[in-house]
Chains A and B, each alone.
Chain A
Amino acid sequence: MAKKTLTAKKTSEITPEIVAEHGLSADEYQIILDRLGREPNINELGIFSVMWSEHCSYKSSRRHLAKFLTEGKRVIQGPGENAGVIDIDDGDAIIFKMESHNHPSYIEPYQGAATGVGGIMRDVFTMGARPIALMNALRFGEPGHWKTKQLVNGVVAGIGGYGNCVGVPTVGGETNFHKGYNGNILVNAMCVGLARTDNVFYSAAKGVGNPIFYVGSKTGRDGIHGATMASAEFDDDSDEKRPTVQVGDPFTEKLLIEACLELMATDAIIAIQDMGAAGLTSSSIEMADKGGVGIALDLDKVPQREEGMTPYEMMLSESQERMLMVIKPGKEQLAFDVFEKWELDVAQIGKTTDTGRLVLKHKDKKVCDIPIAPLADDAPNYDRPHVETSKRKVIKAADVYETQDYNDALIKIITSPNIASKRWIWEQYDRHVMTDTVDSSQSGGDAAIVRIHGSNKAVAITTDCTPRYVEADPYEGGKQVVAETWRNLTCVGAEPIAITDCLNFGNPERPEIMGQFVGAIKGMNEACRAFDYPVVSGNVSLYNETNGQAIPPTPAVGGVGLISNLNHFATLKGAKDGDTLILIGETTGWLGASIYLSEIQSREDGAPPPVDLAAEKRNGDYVRTLIRNRRVHAVHDCSDGGLAITACEMAFASDIGVHLSGATSGPTHGWLFGEDQGRYLLAVEKHSVNPIMSTAQGKGITAHIVGTVGGGRIKADGAFDVSLQGLRERHEAWLPDLMSSTDEKAAE
């Protein structure tokens, strides 16, 4: 990295090589020269470089993100703050966001994942919320790849090591394996917090002459240029970037949460911002820019972990567990007292000014003096060329090889990497701390359910993405991602409210990648609008490539919904002996881009299932009404692996067999494994069957009776018949077997 040359230099002499090492183009550097009217010094160049990195400036994505639906009747704060804020009645607000930590996690899986969790929690409690739940969305390379096991081990331990210690339950998530992530895994972490609507904190600094406080850990030399690293592709030498990965300390984070919430209960804080990517630089500039003020900092006052740190290092360090605050004049002592009680570093390091400039002093010398507006508002905003992804052929089920051994096919699919149980992962996460977890990964359900402490209501939370659909058709796949989260929240009886997203793509400078990005956003946004389901926060992670090989497009979405009365919710684990299985939604037997196709035929081609947003809405609203009227025992979203896998998962969770019968028309493999969208499997009492079917008919909703619940077998007429217990054991065994296998075996 650039560090060696840069830290030694004291002033100017900015060569084109130094500019390039900072990830700035010649054009971007020219803008800096124009705005300053002079050559920047090395500190100023470093500050421009991180603020204008893709990670901080969203320069390739901004104009496209602006198209998203971001407003709704429950939205208190949409994108643009540390996290999104929604109203869940009774003066309660939910604050949530999902963020990527992909590049660091690939280089250093434990610390990368741990600090990803720490960072997203800070985004949430910065706004005044107590974190109440963590979720994640993970993508690893193929199971047999030599690096995969080590990455799974490290990432899972890192997520657990941080969240468990801080004492926030990790209640759910998803994990995929695909060769497209061999050289670039994805670690997306989501945090959900609870605040009062009248006590939400924002980042805009206000007033002139107000004290600026630094609290939390000391600043060290870790993570310098992390944001710039996250804005570049990988190559074979990426391991050399390990020093740019930050090191997390969940102990300090826990103290920081308690101390911040304690101070937030007083009226001492004017503005607060966590020091995340680009550390002190981006936090101070964002606060100043949003508040329209200037900032003057005395860097000698910054608590430092190491001796002899330069201004450049202090401004670009990404040391974790740090916060910047503007404190009300006169409340300084209160702030000192609270942070000292929690044994955290605290220092008054500067003041707000009326100059509109960022001025830094170090050892009595002015080491930076630049206008703030160009850093934030005038950051580059590119309209990158993009080409639409070409449409794939629709594959008819009749044209797909039909297995001659359905027992074997079912076992293959139930033990396939993306369907097999992830117990090995989630048993390493504390899911119960705070004692408000109603449902979590433990049931394999569609959404986690976390009670609002001291009340009888709950939030439902889910994270989803089906990258193979997005790759096949970014627009339909984008619709599907949002629809699936909406459906998963519906499955537990929640009112879906809003989403956060983590848009993971390859190099935006390549028109075909940019085409995926633009297409996915178009589809996602259509779904958001159809469901009145806005985006309130999120982040973009581009340049997810190694040696020119991009990841499958992966716009992960985290959805949040409200269960206003915990007497009326559902999960997939309530199916009872004698129940009838009803499938809501139309089945055409769509096998294109399906799990059946990839696992049984080793093919990944074909158009993905289309999403009829109107039908999706109609079906979901009906299912939610049935749950609230307590007409169903169990509900499960019918998605990956189709009806057969959905029924198996319900059987596992309910610990009772199922018998599928009454296939409508078309080939059996399409009926059992087709992945048509907008479908729900319900287990209902016999006497509820007729009313449910006839009401569905009246509403124009497709509904079929597809089987019964009972016994100890998983059966489908004319297809499979296996023991529930035996199938569950295999479903559970796949991941532990992989993780305990020797490298020789894994490499097979």
Chain B
Amino acid sequence: MKTAVIRFPASNCDRDAAVALETVTGRPTQIIWHRDTSLPDDIDFVVIPGGFSYGDYLRSGAIAARSPIVKDIIRRAEKGLPVAGFCNGFQILTEAGLLPGALMRNKNLKFVCRPEKLIVQTNNSRFTSKYAAKSEVIYPVAHHDGNYFADDATLNRIEKNGQVLFRYANNPNGSLRDIAGIVNEAGNVFGMMPHPERATDPVHGGTDGLDFFKSIIESI
């Protein structure tokens, strides 16, 4: 089992993601530099962490989505490599076209940081198999641009396909249909604004995020 976390300039949850992965896998996680042009061949799971890659200049995630390493992530993801992006990672995945929709500025225009109750929509996915369907979990959110948007046709399509894996119980940012986390049609690329890696240690106030990581790790 080999996992990797991508580091962009001003990623700031890279260490947090690596710690969570190491907690669950019991093995070291590799940190990959954004200028690298390819992922190691034997990587099994890649996390694009939260942060403010490139200072959120232009649009959150827009510049990172065009970096050398993301080109290879796109190529590998299309061949089935599991990839997850949290917070800025979700923004990068939508900007890179690996996930549908976009993340706009929060509805109240303010940054929001709080533990947020989410409802697991389905456990019929590689990322949620360890949860009971419709169970409630608490992951912290911390973002300024987490307002999920897509056109109606797209929303209807991803709902129909079962691609919506998490919804907010108390929508903190104006996301359409309370969407917190989605997976691509093939089921191997996942993105969400909340931070499962911030709920993996009793010190965090809860460990609801552990089953997220266990789900995907055990699926490999």
Contact of B57 among A160, A251, A566 (CB under 8 A): A251
* B52 and A432 contacting across the interface, CB-CB below 8 Å: no
Measured between alpha carbons, how far is A684 from B205 in the docked complex, in Å? 22
* A431 and B113 contacting across the interface, CB-CB below 8 Å: yes
* B51 and A167 contacting across the interface, CB-CB below 8 Å: yes
Any B CB within 8 A of the CB of A139 = no
* A164 and B142 contacting across the interface, CB-CB below 8 Å: yes
User: Taking CB as reference atom, which chain A residue is nearest B7?
Assistant: A258
* A160 and B111 contacting across the interface, CB-CB below 8 Å: yes
Measured between alpha carbons, how far is A166 from B110 in the docked complex, in Å? 17
Count A-B contacts at CB 8 Å. Answer: 84
User: Taking CB as reference atom, which chain B residue is nearest A167?
Assistant: B12
Any A CB within 8 A of the CB of B198 = yes
* B140 and A432 contacting across the interface, CB-CB below 8 Å: yes
User: Taking CB as reference atom, which chain A residue is nearest B35?
Assistant: A341
Any A CB within 8 A of the CB of B1 = no
Could you write out 17 A-B pairs with CB less than 8 Å apart?
Answer: A164-B111, A164-B144, A166-B10, A167-B12, A167-B52, A251-B10, A251-B55, A251-B57, A427-B114, A430-B142, A432-B195, A433-B12, A433-B50, A434-B16, A435-B19, A437-B203, A438-B203
User: Taking CB as reference atom, which chain A residue is nearest B142?
Assistant: A430
Any A CB within 8 A of the CB of B54 = yes
Chain B residues within 8 Å of A442, by CB: 114
Measured between alpha carbons, how far is A426 from B114 in the docked complex, in Å? 9
Chain B residues within 8 Å of A426, by CB: 113
Contact mask for chain A residues 431-469; partner B; CB cutoff 8 A; 1 contact, 0 none: 111111110001000000001000000000000000000
Chain A residues within 8 Å of B28, by CB: none
Contact of B56 among A165, A167, A252, A433 (CB under 8 A): A165
User: Taking CB as reference atom, which chain B residue is nearest A458?
Assistant: B203
* A434 and B9 contacting across the interface, CB-CB below 8 Å: no
Any A CB within 8 A of the CB of B177 = no
Contact mask for chain B residues 106-142; partner A; CB cutoff 8 A; 1 contact, 0 none: 0000111110000000000000000000000000101
What's the nearest-Cβ distance from chain A to residue B173, in Å?
A: 12
Chain B residues within 8 Å of A164, by CB: 52, 111, 113, 142, 144
* A432 and B57 contacting across the interface, CB-CB below 8 Å: no
Measured between alpha carbons, how far is A437 from B10 in the docked complex, in Å? 20
Known: A164-B142, A251-B55, A251-B57. A432 touches B12 (CB 8 A): no
Chain A residues within 8 Å of B20, by CB: 435
Any A CB within 8 A of the CB of B159 = no
Q: Which of B1-44 contact A (CB under 8 A)?
A: 9-10, 12-13, 15-16, 19-20
Known: A342-B9, A435-B204. 11 other contacts (CB 8 A): A161-B111, A165-B12, A165-B55, A167-B13, A254-B10, A428-B113, A431-B142, A432-B113, A432-B140, A433-B13, A434-B15
User: Taking CB as reference atom, which chain B residue is nearest A454?
Assistant: B19
User: Taking CB as reference atom, which chain B residue is nearest A166?
Assistant: B12
Contact mask for chain B residues 91-112; partner A; CB cutoff 8 A; 1 contact, 0 none: 0000000000000000000111
Any B CB within 8 A of the CB of A338 = no
Any B CB within 8 A of the CB of A234 = no
User: Taking CB as reference atom, which chain A residue is nearest B198?
Assistant: A432
What's the nearest-Cβ distance from chain B to residue A133, in Å?
A: 14
* B13 and A254 contacting across the interface, CB-CB below 8 Å: no
Contact of B10 among A157, A255, A433, A438 (CB under 8 A): A255
User: Taking CB as reference atom, which chain B residue is nearest A428?
Assistant: B111
Chain B residues within 8 Å of A430, by CB: 111, 113, 142
Measured between alpha carbons, how far is A429 from B20 in the docked complex, in Å? 22
Any B CB within 8 A of the CB of A508 = no
* A428 and B112 contacting across the interface, CB-CB below 8 Å: yes
What's the nearest-Cβ distance from chain A to residue B115, in Å?
A: 8
Any A CB within 8 A of the CB of B201 = yes
Contact of A254 among B52, B112, B113, B198 (CB under 8 A): B52
Measured between alpha carbons, how far is A157 from B108 in the docked complex, in Å? 13
Any B CB within 8 A of the CB of A640 = no
Question: Most A CB atoms within 10 A — which of B10, B55, B56, B197?
Answer: B10
Any B CB within 8 A of the CB of A250 = yes
Any B CB within 8 A of the CB of A737 = no
User: Taking CB as reference atom, which chain A residue is nearest B140?
Assistant: A432
* A451 and B203 contacting across the interface, CB-CB below 8 Å: yes
What's the nearest-Cβ distance from chain B to residue A118, in Å?
A: 13
Chain A residues within 8 Å of B12, by CB: 165-167, 254, 433
| Interface residue range, chain A | 20 to 34
Known: A250-B55, A251-B52. A436 touches B203 (CB 8 A): yes
Measured between alpha carbons, how far is A442 from B112 in the docked complex, in Å? 13
- Listed from nearest, the 3 A-B pairs whose CB atoms lie closest are A167-B12, A251-B55, A165-B52
User: Taking CB as reference atom, which chain A residue is nearest B115?
Assistant: A442
What's the nearest-Cβ distance from chain B to residue A732, in Å?
A: 13
* A255 and B142 contacting across the interface, CB-CB below 8 Å: no
Measured between alpha carbons, how far is A432 from B15 in the docked complex, in Å? 13
* B54 and A251 contacting across the interface, CB-CB below 8 Å: yes
* A255 and B16 contacting across the interface, CB-CB below 8 Å: no
Chain A residues within 8 Å of B114, by CB: 427, 442
Any B CB within 8 A of the CB of A484 = no
Contact of B55 among A249, A435, A451, A566 (CB under 8 A): A249
What's the nearest-Cβ distance from chain B to residue A56, in Å?
A: 30
Chain A residues within 8 Å of B201, by CB: 435
Chain B residues within 8 Å of A251, by CB: 9-10, 52, 54-57
Any B CB within 8 A of the CB of A13 = no
Q: Which of A637-665 contact B (CB under 8 A)?
A: none
Any B CB within 8 A of the CB of A743 = no
Contact mask for chain B residues 39-72; partner A; CB cutoff 8 A; 1 contact, 0 none: 0000000000011101111000000000000000
* A435 and B113 contacting across the interface, CB-CB below 8 Å: no
Measured between alpha carbons, how far is A255 from B10 in the docked complex, in Å? 7
Question: Most A CB atoms within 10 A — which of B19, B200, B203?
Answer: B203
What's the nearest-Cβ distance from chain B to residue A679, in Å?
A: 28
Chain B residues within 8 Å of A435, by CB: 16, 19-20, 197-198, 200-201, 204
Any B CB within 8 A of the CB of A354 = no
User: Taking CB as reference atom, which chain A residue is nearest B56?
Assistant: A165
* A433 and B16 contacting across the interface, CB-CB below 8 Å: yes
Chain A residues within 8 Å of B198, by CB: 432, 435
Contact mask for chain A residues 230-253; partner B; CB cutoff 8 A; 1 contact, 0 none: 000000000000000000011110
Question: Most A CB atoms within 10 A — which of B50, B56, B110, B201?
Answer: B110
Question: Most B CB atoms within 10 A — which of A164, A255, A451?
Answer: A164
Contact mask for chain A residues 674-705; partner B; CB cutoff 8 A; 1 contact, 0 none: 00000000000000000000000000000000
* A254 and B9 contacting across the interface, CB-CB below 8 Å: yes
What's the nearest-Cβ distance from chain B to residue A748, in Å?
A: 24
Measured between alpha carbons, how far is A251 from B201 in the docked complex, in Å? 29
Any B CB within 8 A of the CB of A343 = yes
* A428 and B110 contacting across the interface, CB-CB below 8 Å: yes
Q: Which of B189-215 contact A (CB under 8 A)?
A: 195, 197-198, 200-201, 203-204
Chain B residues within 8 Å of A432, by CB: 113, 140, 142, 195, 198, 204
User: Taking CB as reference atom, which chain A residue is nearest B9?
Assistant: A255
Chain A residues within 8 Å of B113, by CB: 164, 426-432
